[in-house]
Structure 1
């Protein structure tokens, strides 16, 4: 298939492209290479993908575009005729959204409309897009399930992703566009984002600097290894969403619809306390961390824990990488990439 992957130079986008290329798909990777974090890391990921540029019959091509550029996006869809679209481009991060909300509206709302319009007008067979566990916001019933409402996000990042879920439903209903939203839970691994906890902790511990541990390290996260995530994204992409014949408008299921639209959690289903995560990292680094305990940050949630049973039943998704293995692989990559 010919597949558009937006955010191809990003963390999850890069790993998804690698797996698609390994099985022979033609991949067009889109990214605007913005400077939210170190652009050289994005370019290093992209260089590895560009090594597949001349592969046949598949191969990789790069398009430097911004999702919010409506004319350019329209031209790309009309020119390429994609079979599938995997939308992973987004302005990410909770803390950054406290000071820069407009960046989230431009990328995650305006940009997403342009993706929906491109899919609608060129007959794309399935749109898979990144949502987030942040949509659960003020929810406290664990594990989080897609079949319960998620209408109280605590930060603009989660609010824009919840908007994506609702917008895609309208396109599925009005135009029959199959749409699947995937709620990611704390993804980590090699080639990760420098603003995420594992990356920050590793850099500071190796430099002999103290690390800030929010909520005194007592919150839990459903840490999920990036290669497991990428496999789940591709499995979902391969099975276009269909309408639920049993959907009842008098008792609506938030995760399904009469339209070809689905929402899935994609997580490890094994929450780990942050202090335990740090202990695993210390073992992998062979160094102890100096921890500065801090209260929970504005916009953060105390715990996340995904029920991923629906995705397992639908596409056979089964994460297989324990935290001890995943953190070790990240540390090995970090030492090699930064020559530490």
Structure 2
């Protein structure tokens, strides 16, 4: 299929474009920054450009991964988030319908599910988050605009029958956390595979699965994260004594961490449950916390990317 891939120069795009080609698709990359997988430099907020690309290429499908992200809040005004994340999504949806695209995959974020209370971890137990969680009260302009774009996608399916899958992806960025610095980056990322992270490779695979299944699903919205080893019955104990719960599932985790000078989380305040995407799309992340421990046990490279020097292509161009 001819696929329009937005955000093709970004962290996800650099993995997703080759994966699409391996699957036999022909992606055309669109991004505001140049890159090896970007064919057209431009913005999704540029409606005439979007219409021209659809008219010239007659895309069968769209994977819309372009966005302003949470770290961009410090660099751009709120209006820029509306222009790119909302108007840009609207431009793509309108062009997809006008030109008869058969499917649309939208990269959203679990961040929009996190209220200020969840972020502050005020609840007495770990908050279990899945597609039914709510009410949704995004805490910043990034979350608000991504949530609005989700609703636009749902509306276009309802009004026009456009098959759409929305993927609320957990963390997969390679750089340091921009809000927490109490643990070394690799240690923090390893911990997050218990409850709120996936690899960029698995994220790309999830998008490919969504592209393939969208016509059969119609409209679907899914949390995408490494499968958690925990269940809801453990939520209270995860908040008060996470190491004890982890030890129940992984008896040698503390020893393996100690050998590396790492710390297990003392408390886990939220858990992302990705069971629905496995049930409906047959997709499951290949890398989980067990894979992290297996790498530590065998003294192999860690199965996830960590690059403190990574910067957005927008900042490099």
Q: Give yes or no for the alignment of 1:104 onto 2:73.
A: no
CA shift, 1:328, in A, is 5.1
Q: Give yes or no for the alignment of 1:267 onto 2:244.
A: no
- Name the residue aligned to 2:154: 169
- Measured in 2, the distance between the counterparts of 1:118 and 1:150 equals 31
CA shift, 1:150, in A, is 4.3
1:199-239: CA deviation from partner (whole Å, max 9, x where unpaired) = x89xxxxxxxxx8339xx8x965111111111111001101
State whether residues 269 and 305 of structure 1, in contact with CA within 8 Å, keep that contact through their aligned partners in structure 2: no
- Measured in 2, the distance between the counterparts of 1:149 and 1:241 equals 27
- Measured in 2, the distance between the counterparts of 1:81 and 1:104 equals 28
* Equivalent of 2:280 in 305, 311, 314: 314
* Equivalent of 1:212 in 171, 174, 181: 181
- Name the residue aligned to 1:19: 19
- Name the residue aligned to 2:200: 226
Q: Which moved more, 1:223-232 or 1:132-141?
A: 132-141
State whether residues 113 and 133 of structure 2, in contact with CA within 8 Å, keep that contact through their aligned partners in structure 1: no
State whether residues 61 and 102 of structure 2, in contact with CA within 8 Å, keep that contact through their aligned partners in structure 1: yes
Q: Give yes or no for the alignment of 1:330 onto 2:299.
A: no
Question: 4+ residue stretches of structure 1 with deviation over 6 A?
Answer: 286-289, 332-335
State whether residues 222 and 271 of structure 1, in contact with CA within 8 Å, keep that contact through their aligned partners in structure 2: no
- Measured in 2, the distance between the counterparts of 1:332 and 1:90 equals 21
State whether residues 91 and 107 of structure 1, in contact with CA within 8 Å, keep that contact through their aligned partners in structure 2: yes
* Counterparts of residues 136-215 of structure 1 (less than 5 Å): 136-138=113-115, 140=118, 142-188=127-173, 192=174, 194=175, 196-197=176-177, 212-213=181-182
CA shift, 1:241, in A, is 4.7
Give the TM-score of the pair, scaled to structure 1: 0.66
The Cα RMSD (Å) is 3.5
In structure 2, the CA distance between the partners of 1:98 and 1:173, relative to structure 1 (3 Å rule), is same
Q: Give yes or no for the alignment of 1:116 onto 2:93.
A: yes
CA shift, 1:170, in A, is 1.2
- Measured in 1, the distance between the counterparts of 2:215 and 2:170 equals 21
Q: Give yes or no for the alignment of 1:79 onto 2:52.
A: no
In structure 2, the CA distance between the partners of 1:315 and 1:89, relative to structure 1 (3 Å rule), is same
- Measured in 1, the distance between the counterparts of 2:148 and 2:306 equals 35
CA shift, 1:108, in A, is 0.1
Q: Which runs of 5+ in 1 are unaligned?
A: 34-42, 50-60, 202-210, 244-259, 290-301, 336-340
Give the TM-score of the pair, scaled to structure 2: 0.71
1:116-173: CA deviation from partner (whole Å, max 9, x where unpaired) = 1111100110100011101212275732110233421111111111101111111111
Aligned residues: 258
CA shift, 1:332, in A, is 9.0
In structure 2, the CA distance between the partners of 1:333 and 1:168, relative to structure 1 (3 Å rule), is same
CA shift, 1:24, in A, is 2.2
SS for the counterpart of 1:239 is helix
- Measured in 2, the distance between the counterparts of 1:154 and 1:146 equals 18
- Measured in 2, the distance between the counterparts of 1:67 and 1:263 equals 22
In structure 2, the CA distance between the partners of 1:3 and 1:327, relative to structure 1 (3 Å rule), is same
SS for the counterpart of 1:90 is coil
State whether residues 98 and 155 of structure 1, in contact with CA within 8 Å, keep that contact through their aligned partners in structure 2: no
